[in-house]
Structure 1
């Protein structure tokens, strides 16, 4: 399986985890379900995506604690930047059409754009491997 196919597959898995978490939070949140669901979904998607990318995309093993902290920090910073794209699309679509379908469509578009940018950033600055 090529890196591109794995990356797309992992993006889909992360997106499903994100959206599944959002649906779960919406069902149980007593206040601000939209905000809480987006935050929880983003955190869940981030955790899954980091582990999958580290191991199966960039084939990055454990080195030192300092190196791992550096990687997670950079990965998180780039995630924040690309998450702003995701949130922008998701919230904009929801504000325009006010439906779950619109919210998730916007989210999917934003995630696709964000993941493309994130791959380039992670390859260049986080994991810096020749294999990816």
Structure 2
């Protein structure tokens, strides 16, 4: 039995439900065409999605820098103190890379003078210290419990990812505050 044609009133130029059906080559019956997803159909604007993707890529890059520095330190420094040097060297290198990337490509921050730049860096360091405490504790515990193994890097990466997510929220709220024109402008010290 054939479907009844659509005779309901519609906007000029609109297609009826029946006109969206077309026979599928080699298959019996109609196939419903789907329309492309538009930006308004998405829950998240593309600029916000782009921001999240950039932040994730920068976090992964920072993690890679951190791991590379730790790996190099553990291979070049002998003795029991090597883990401490590796942890702090890796954390410092990751911090420097992440600060510059966040400042310039996530929050688009520009300071009015050196004093403000120093204040922003101190605030950024404070949010970093909060997250780094958990990271260092977990890495130290993992190293002394299991040594340098795959679990050491897996747990460290998970802690870093959770820390970066929390840090993004803290940095947006307290470090790189948005001004009326949408640009980042932190409060003066």
TM-score (normalizing by structure 2): 0.65
Deviation at 1:104, TM superposition (A): 1.0
Alignment of 1:62 with 2:111, yes or no, is yes
Q: How many Å separate the matches in 1 of 2:183 and 2:147?
A: 43
| 1:37-52 matches, cutoff 5 A | 37-52=86-101
| 1:46-125 matches, cutoff 5 A | 46-125=95-174
Query: Which protein has the bigger helix share?
Result: 1
Deviation at 1:131, TM superposition (A): 6.3
Alpha carbons 2:142, 2:152 under 8 Å: kept: yes
Q: How many Å separate the matches in 2 of 1:9 and 1:131?
A: 22
Name the SS for the 1:2 alignment partner: helix
| CA pair 131-7 structure 1, distance change in 2 beyond 3 A | farther
Q: Which has the larger radius of gyration?
A: 2
Q: How many Å separate the matches in 1 of 2:134 and 2:161?
A: 10
Alignment of 1:3 with 2:39, yes or no, is no
Alignment of 1:14 with 2:62, yes or no, is yes
Deviation at 1:99, TM superposition (A): 3.3
Q: How many Å separate the matches in 2 of 1:35 and 1:118?
A: 23
Stretches of structure 1 lacking an aligned partner (at least 5 in a row): none
Q: How many Å separate the matches in 2 of 1:72 and 1:90?
A: 25
Which stretches of structure 1, 4 residues or longer, exceed 4 Å deviation after superposition?
none
Alpha carbons 2:127, 2:170 under 8 Å: kept: yes
Q: How many Å separate the matches in 2 of 1:124 and 1:39?
A: 27
Stretches of structure 2 lacking an aligned partner (at least 5 in a row): 1-48, 185-189
Deviation at 1:92, TM superposition (A): 2.7
Alpha carbons 1:89, 1:109 under 8 Å: kept: no
TM-score (normalizing by structure 1): 0.92
